[in-house]
A and B are shown apart, each in its own frame.
Chain A
Amino acid sequence: EIVLTQSPGTLSLSPGERATLSCRASQSVSSSKLAWYQQKRGQAPRLFIYGASSRATGIPDRFSGSGSGTDFTLTISRLEPEDFAVYYCQHYGSTWAFGQGTKVEIK
């Protein structure tokens, strides 16, 4: 069973700053099966990144994903007000697993 651990739990930043979110897997995973979601309060998760680094439809290019093996990163180059939310990483395939989430809050 793959376990995904996200860090930090909460990231306090100001608009315009850069955000770096980490996702570590308990064993090596295929980067083609690693995704990132954004979830706002009361809404369903929205796919932002799939295949570790491909942006989903309509996702602005200030969002980028990278990594391989056991270590993956979601970077938001310059935070906009609408980016403050919870972000989850996910491994998908024949089974799915989610990290516990990172909350990006306004400092």
Chain B
Amino acid sequence: QVQLVQSGSELKKPGASVKVSCKASGYTFTTYSMNWVRQAPGQGLEWMGWINTNTGNPTYAQGFTGRFVFSLDTSVSTAYLQISSLTAEDTAVYYCARYDLKPDYWGQGTLVTVSS
């Protein structure tokens, strides 16, 4: 069965970096793109962008350029989201979601908390 399993919660200090992983199983990793979505506490869903799992080419949504990096390790069917220079405003749950014809499977989410 299809699964997207994300890494565990993170507590980081302002200015630090974090790398969130999303490990896929139950399907051929390179046949679906991987999208990333942010949800701040008590807020709605915000699309961050996506990465082409065939070419590794990332596309970032407005507001998610510069400090945000999408990457892959296709040998282990895993997508990564790295965020640098963290601030309190980055505190959120981050989701990965696969997409081909429809965005049907999502990871369970990773809570990133930024606090001194």
Contact = CB atoms under 8 A, between A and B. Distances in A.
Interface stretch (B23-31, B67-75, B99-107): B99-107
Contacts of A65: none
B62 to A, nearest CB: 7
Nearest to B99: A92
A44 B95 contact: yes
13 contacts: A44-B95, A45-B45, A45-B95, A47-B104, A50-B103, A88-B44, A90-B45, A95-B61, A98-B37, A98-B44, A98-B45, A99-B44, A100-B44
Interface string B27-49: 00000000101000000111100
B47 A47 contact: no
Q: Main SS of chain A's interface residues?
A: loop
A51 interface: yes
Contacts of B35: 96
Contact of A88 (B45, B61, B62): B45
Contacts of A1: 62
Contacts of B108: 44
Given A92-B99, A96-B35, A44 B107 contact: yes
B103 A90 contact: yes
Pick the 8 closest A-B CB pairs, nearest first. A96-B47, A50-B102, A98-B45, A44-B106, A100-B44, A101-B44, A44-B109, A47-B104
